[in-house]
Structure 1
Amino acid sequence: MIKTQRLAAATVGRVLGGASLTAVLQDLWHNHADLTEQQRGAIQDLSYGVLRFYGQLHAILGLLLKKPLKNKDIIYLLLVALYQLEYSKAAPHAVVDNAVSASQGAHGSTGLQGLVNAVLRNFLRQHSTLLQESSESEVGRYSHPQWWIDKLRIQYPERYQAVLEASNLRPSMTLRINRRKTTVAEYLERLSQSNMSARLAGEDALELEQPVPVEKLPGFGEGLVSVQDAGAQLAAKLLEVSDNDRVLDACAAPGGKSAHLLELAEVDLTVLDSDNNRLARVTRNFSRLGLKAHRVIHSDASQPAQWWDGNQFDRILADVPCSASGVTRRHPDIKWLRRESDLSQFAAKQREILEALWPMLSRGGKLLYVTCSVFTEENGLQVEEFLRRHADARTLPLSRAEITDGQLLPDSHHDGFFYALVLKV
C-alpha cells in the first residue's frame, strides 16, 4: 500500500499542477513497468477518487491542520489517505500506518511523520463533525469549483444540485451492440454465459451491472460490442442516416460515433480529425468492428481549404471541442483544470467550426451539433446565434423524451450531452 499511496499522491499533485489525469497515468505506467495489475488498479482508483472528491477532502484537511502546510507532497499524501479512510474498504489502521511510512520518503518531510499520524487519527476521531463542517461550504459539499456551482445554479436552478451530485458518481460501463454482427438478445445470452449481468439502456445499449476489463467482454475482439456511454450513443441515431448518404464526421476521434454510423447504414463516410494519434485509434476501432470509412483525413474541420474537395454532404456530425463539463464522472480532473474563461475560448472555436461546415451541407441536409458540455454558452446559446446568422438554418425537434431543449443532463446511467439537429432549407 505504501507504494500505491506515494504514486497516487504524486499523480494527484501533477494533475492539480495542470496536467491531464489520463496523460499522467500513461506516463506513470511507462515509467513504472514493474507495477502489478493490482497496483495499477489501486493507483488509478485512488487518483480518480481524490480528484472526484477533492473539494470535500481539501476542506476536511483544512479543518484538521492548525496552520497551512507548505509541503505539497505531504498534502497530496494526506488527501489520498483521507480518501481511503472515507471511501475505501481498506482497514483504517493500515491506511494510517502506511501513510506514515509513505511520508518518510517524501521530499522535505523530515519530522512530519507525527503530523501525518495525528491528522489521520484526528479524522477518525472527529469523523462526523468534520463531514458536517466541510459541507458548510458549497465547494466542500459538491466537490466542484465555486464558479462551476454558481453557473449551474443560474442555468439550472431546479436541477443544479442533482447535476453536481450525478457528476461525482462512478461512471457506469455501457456497451453498444454492433448490430451488423449480433443482436441485443444474443449478446445478453453471451453475457449470461460469462456470468455477467446487464440491463437494457437504449436500442443498442446494455449497461453492465459490474464494470469489467474490455478483454473479458465476450466477443469484444471479434467486434461484437464497443464501450460507449448511453448518452453518446444517441448521436448516430439522431443524425438519421440512410443507405448511400454522404456523411462527414468532422471531429471524429476516437471514433465511437463514426463506427455507430457505419453500423446503422451503408453510408459513404468521411472521417476527419486534427489529432493524428487519436485518428489512428479510429482506424483500429474500425478494423476490430469490421467497418470501413470512405476517407480518413487528418486535418482541422475549421480549415476546409486544406481538405474539402467541394462535394457537399447529406449529413454532418459536428461533435465539437468543448469544456467536457458533462463527462466529469469519467474525467474528474476536468473540474479542477478548467477555468471559467475557457468557455469563451471553446465557444469561439465552436463558432469557427460551424461556419466552416455549413457550406459543406447540401440543401435538405442535416447537421447534428454535439457537445459533451452542460454549459449553455457552448450549447443553446451557440445554436441560437448560429440560427440568427443563417436564414437557411432550422432546428428540428429531437425524438428523445430525456432531452430537454437539446440538453441531456448527467445522471447515474449516462453522461451529459447537448444535441441540436439543424436542417438546411
Structure 2
Amino acid sequence: MAEASKQAQAAPRGVAVRCRAATAVSGVLHSGRRLEEALDYQGLGRSDRALLRELATGTVRWAIRLRTVLDDLLDRPLPRRETEVEALLLVGLYQLAHTNIPPYAAVSATVGALSKSKAWARRLINGVLRRFGREPGQRLAAADARSVGVANAHPEWLVIALEAAYPDAWQGVLDANNQAPPLTLRVVGDRAAYLAELAAAGIEAQAHPLVETAVNLKSFRPVASLPGFPEGRASVQDAAAQLAAPLMETRSGERVLDACTAPGGKLAHLLSQTPDLHVTALDPDSDRLDRTRETLERTGLAPEALLRGDAARPQTWWDGVPFDRILIDAPCSGSGVIRRHPDIKHLRRPEDVGPMEDRQQALLEGLWPILRPGGKLLYVTCSVLPEENGERVAALQQAHPEARAEPLPQQWGRPAGPGCQILPGEAGTDGFYYARLRKETP
C-alpha cells in the first residue's frame, strides 16, 4: 500500500485519515504487524490523531464480524491481492456500524481514500457501503447468527477456551474486550495533586477506586503533552499492572531480580516505590532493552544492572548471590489485554499457546533455585488462560514442595489455583494473573 501512503500525505484531512487507517488495518490483517507499529500519526493534529486511532483500532477490534458482513454484501469475493480495497471497506463499515460519523461523510471520505491505481473500486466501495447503510441492523444480525465468535468479533478457538475456563463469566470477558479502554496513568507522588493539575489543564480524569497510584483519563491524549509525563511523574500503565510492585513487598536494601523487564513499566514502579533496592533487570531482546532504557531515562531511575540474557538460564548471567525477591512478568498470549490491543485477536493462534507454556515453565524452574530461602517470587501474566497461569504455578509447586503460595488481597480478582485472576473489565482493568510464592526454609 505504498501508493496509498503517499496519497495520505497530500489528501484532504478526512480522506487522509481514512487512508492511514486502512493502511494500518491492512498491516495487521495481511502482514501480521502490531497495530501500534502500523499506525502513522506523522503530521496529524490532535483531533485527526484521535480519529485515526479510533478508526484503525475499532476496525481491527470488530474486523471478524465486519468481514462476515462484507462477505454477505459482495456479489463475489474480492481477490486476495486487493488488500487496500478490503481494508477501506472494513473501515467504512466500522464507521457506519459503530460511530456517529454522518453516513454521507463516512462514505465520501472512504471512497476518496482509494489510491489512483484502484479507481476501479470507487463504485464498488460506494455501492457496498450504501447498501449496508440502508439496512445496518439486518446485515449485522445476519452476520451474528453465523456463530458466537462472529457475533462477538473473537476467533472461535478463543471463545471456546474462555467458555471452558469461565462458564459464569466468558460473555463478560468478550464484552469487555470489545470496549475501548481508558488511558490509565500511574502517578508518582500525590495523586490528588496530580488530578488537580490535570483539571487545571482541562483534562478530565478520575482516581481508580482500587489502585492508589492509578488515574483514568476520560479521553485519548498524546501522552507527551500530559503534565509531568516528560519528567516521569506519570507513566502509561493499566491499573492491574500497577499491582505488581506493591505485591512484591520489597524492603530497603533487598536484592531483586526483574526477570522479564521490558518495556520497563513495572521496573520503574519498583524503583520509585523502594529507591534503594539492588535490582538486576534482565531481558533477552536488545530492542526491548532499548525501550526499557528509554523508560528509565524519562523517569530518572536506574537499576543496579540492566542485562541482556535469558532468565531461564541463570548460569549465563547470574553472579551466584541469591535474590530476596524475583519478579517474573512472563511472556504470554496477551489474552487479558485484548481490549487494549485488539490486534491480538488476529495475531495470536491456538498453536502459539503451547510454546508459551513451555517458556513460562522454563522461567519458573530456572529462577526458583536462585531465590533465597524465605524469599518471594511474584509470577505475573496478562493472560486469562488457566494453562498459562494457575496450572504453571501449580506445576512448580508439585516439583518444589517448599514453594508456598501466599494469600493475595481479595478486593480484586477471583481465586485461580495458587493465585488470583483478574478478568478484563473487572474494576475497569485489563486481565492479569498474579501468584506470589514464598520459599520455605528447609
TM tier relative to shorter chain: over 0.9
Please give the residue correspondences for 1:316-335 in structure 2 after superposition, counting only pairs within 5 Å. Answer: 316-335=326-345
Q: How many residues align?
A: 416
Q: 1:192 to 1:421 in 2, by over 3 A?
A: same
Cα shift readout 1:41-98 (whole Å, capped 9, x = no counterpart): 4333322111111122112112212332223332221101111112233321122223
Quick check: 1:187 aligned with 2:198? Answer: no
Give the one of 199, 202, 223 matched to 2:206: 199
Answering whether residue 430 of structure 2 is matched by residue 415 of structure 1, we say yes
Distance in 1 of aligned mates of 2:348 and 2:239 = 25
Change in Cα spacing, 1:175 to 1:105, as seen in structure 2 (3 Å) is same
- Counterpart of 1:204, as a letter, is T
- 1:86: which partner in 2? 97
Runs of 4+ in 1 over 6 A off after TM superposition: none
1:17 — aligned with what? 30
Query: Which stretch shifts more, 344-353 or 288-297?
Result: 288-297
CA-atom RMSD, angstroms? 1.9
- Measure, in 1, the Cα distance between the counterparts of 2:83 and 2:218: 38
- Which stretch has the larger CA shift, 129-138 or 235-244? 129-138
Q: Which residue of 2 aligns with 1:97?
A: 108
Give 2:61's match in structure 1, choosing from 52, 64, 85: 52
CA distance in 2, matches of 1:97, 1:288: 43
SS at 1:175 equivalent: strand
Task: Please show how residues 54-203 of structure 1 align to structure 2 within 5 Å.
Answer: 54-70=63-79, 71-103=82-114, 105-107=116-118, 110=120, 112-136=121-145, 137-178=147-188, 182-201=189-208, 202-203=211-212
Tell me how far 1:39 sits from its aligned partner.
Answer: 4.7
Deviation at 1:159, TM superposition (A): 0.3
Decide whether the 8 Å contact of 2:30 with 2:83 is kept in 1: no
- 1:18-45 CA-to-partner distances (Å, cap 9, x unmatched) read 422246426x56xxx5666655543333
Contact 1:74/1:106, CA 8 A, preserved across alignment: no
- After TM superposition, list the pairs within 5 Å mapping 1:277-288 onto structure 2: 277-288=287-298
**Amino acid of the residue matched to residue 194 of structure 2?**
Y
Gapped runs of 5+ residues in structure 1? none
Alignment pair present for 1:2 and 2:15: yes
For the structure 1 residues 37 and 19, does the alpha-carbon distance in structure 2 shift closer, same or farther, using more than 3 Å as the test?
Answer: farther
Deviation at 1:355, TM superposition (A): 1.1
Per-residue CA deviations over 1:257-293 (Å, capped at 9, x if unaligned) read: 1111111113111111112222222223223223221
Q: 1:291 to 1:98 in 2, by over 3 A?
A: closer
Structure with greater contact order relative to length (CA < 8 Å, sep ≥ 6): 1
Alignment check: 8 A CA contact 2:23 2:38 kept: no
Q: 1:307 aligns with which of 313, 317, 324?
A: 317
Secondary structure at the aligned position of 1:152 is classed as helix
**Which of 219, 222, 229 is matched with 1:220 structurally?**
229
- State TM-score, norm by structure 2: 0.89
* More displaced 10-residue stretch of structure 1: 215-224 or 414-423: 215-224
CA contact (8 A) 2:27 2:38 kept: no
Deviates more, 1:276-285 or 1:234-243: 276-285
Deviation at 1:114, TM superposition (A): 2.3
User: Is 1:294 the equivalent of 2:304?
Assistant: yes
* Identical-pair percentage: 42
SS at match of 1:17: helix
Q: Secondary structure at the match of 1:89?
A: coil
Secondary structure of the residue that 1:365 maps to in structure 2?
Answer: strand
Contact 1:103 1:116 in 2 (8 A): no
Question: In the aligned structure 2, how far is the partner of 1:91 from the partner of 1:255?
Answer: 42
Worse overlay, 155-164 or 302-311: 302-311
CA distance in 2, matches of 1:151, 1:160: 9
Tell me which residue corresponds to 2:251: 242
Alignment match, 1:260? 269
Tell me the amino acid that sits aligned with residue 407 of structure 1: Q
Distance between the aligned counterparts of 2:175 and 2:63, measured in 1? Answer: 14
